[in-house]
Amino acid sequence: MKISIRQITEKDVCYLYDSLFDKNIRGFSLNQQKVSYESHCEYWKKRLSNNQNKDYIIVCDGSRNVGCVRIDPDGQISIAVDKEFQGKGFGSIALDLAIKESKLKEYSSKILSKNTTSKKLFKKLGFKKQYEVYTLSKINST
């Protein structure tokens, strides 16, 4: 199977919502909040209007969408591969392609410590651990 990447367009917004809010992927997201389809569309409309964002759909054999890579202007990366296509090396190939294509100076990614697959993926491509964040929260009941 041949993996390639192409730029995300407004036509992909529906695919991104359906597949990437899948619980298998959302569970590893730093933002666990539910997002309505309307705010998802608003987010992408704004995001796509800034050409400093480097956002790609991961494509299998020229036509099948299997995931996406988002890269912010500061090099912050977020990647997801659809559940049925995970563990086949697609994420590694796509991340490598996205880095080559986006040509930024520096890249980073924030990953939950439980996300061993993602840590493996980034380390494989030469990323080194910087620091760990311990997040605390408190609900104010008054």
Per CB under 6 A, which of residues 19..48 are in contact with ligand COA? 25, 28
Q: Report the residue from 8, 13, 60, 81 that binds ligand COA according to the rule CB under 6 A.
A: 81
Give the neighbor-by-neighbor strand order of the sheet with 77-81. Answer: 3-7, 54-60, 64-71, 77-81
C-alpha span between 45 and 41 (Å, rounded): 6
Q: Taking the complex as a whole, how short is the minimal distance between the CB of residue 80 and ligand COA, in angstroms?
A: 4
Phi, psi (rounded to 5 degrees) for 21: -95, 10
Q: Report the residue from 7, 39, 50, 117 that binds ligand COA according to the rule CB under 6 A.
A: 117
Structure token digits, residue 59: 């494509």
C-beta neighbour count of 44 within 10 angstroms: 19
Q: Report the residue from 8, 80, 98, 99 that binds ligand COA according to the rule CB under 6 A.
A: 80
Per CB under 6 A, which of residues 92..111 are in contact with ligand COA? 92, 109, 111
C-alpha span between 23 and 31 (Å, rounded): 12
Q: Taking the complex as a whole, how short is the minimal distance between the CB of residue 139 and ligand COA, in angstroms?
A: 26
The size of the interface with ligand COA (CB under 6 A), counted in residues, is: 22
Q: Taking the complex as a whole, how short is the minimal distance between the CB of residue 69 and ligand COA, in angstroms?
A: 9
Distances (CA, A) of 26 to 93, 117, 135, 141: 22, 14, 18, 27
Site residues for ligand COA per CB under 6 A:
25, 28, 78-81, 86-92, 109, 111, 115-118, 120-121, 124
